[in-house]
Amino acid sequence: MSTAPLPVGLGEDQRAELAALAARTQQANQPRNVVLFAGLLTAVSILILSFAWRANSAAAERAELAQERARAAASKAAELRALEQAGATRSSEVNEPIARMLSRIERAGVDAGLKNQVPVPGQRAGTVERRLGTRQMQLTYQLRDPSFEALARFMQRAIQEVPGLEVYSVRIRPEQQNWFLEVVFSRWERAEGG
């Protein structure tokens, strides 16, 4: 409100009218609606920005996951190509049936220092992949020995003695005087007529 002195000789009505005019002028000079609109616009902008930021974060996370999957797929494809090349160039001994495979595994037990002779394995029916012309042989051995190290050496020597032999599963438990080992060896071989 203005602090300028009012002219002398004005009546009560004129003074009220001048005061109302001054109040309207002051209100026009302080645009409250514009300030409220700017504040509302800022709040809406912040809300939209937060939603956009969340959507961007979710999209970036999905993109990162997709990139990780693509890298894993590319890695597996490269590994498969390497295996195919190795299979084409390697000697056929790895996938050919081995006539004395059980004797080699038994000899691995002797070399490992097992106290007891390696028993005849239980044999599971192998998985046959007709389109690839292969079958998976699985041999189950159950051994008892006082030395855990000898059992571990037996598994290691067996996979060294027999080309293509892998450890499929292992179960070990301690007993009163011995260690019990159940190991399943697996080997992929060419199927008959494959």
pLDDT in tens, 105-137: 899 999 999 898 888 887 766 666 666 677 788
Write out the residue range of the structural domain in which residue 64 sits: 11-90
Q: Are residues 72 and 119 in the same domain?
A: no
In this structure, of 66-70, 80-84, 167-171, 190-194, the range with the lowest mean pLDDT score is 190-194
How much is the pLDDT for 91?
45
Indicate whether 152 and 65 sit together in one domain.
Answer: no
Q: What is the DSSP letter of 94?
A: G
CA distances from 27 to 32, 33, 51, 52 (A): 8, 10, 37, 38
Q: Are residues 80 and 114 in the same domain?
A: no
The domain that holds 168 is classified in CATH as 3.30.70.60
Of 35, 66, 90, the position where a domain reaches its end is: 90
Last residue of a domain, one of 34, 68, 90: 90
> DSSP 3-state assignment of 51?
helix
Same domain, 66 and 115: no
Q: Which two tokens stand for residue 59?
A: 């999209």
State which of 42, 75, 90 marks the end of a domain.
Answer: 90
**118 and 175 both lie in a single domain:** yes
pLDDT digits (tens, 9 = 90+) for 57-115: 989 999 999 999 999 999 888 888 877 776 655 545 556 667 688 888 899 999 999 89
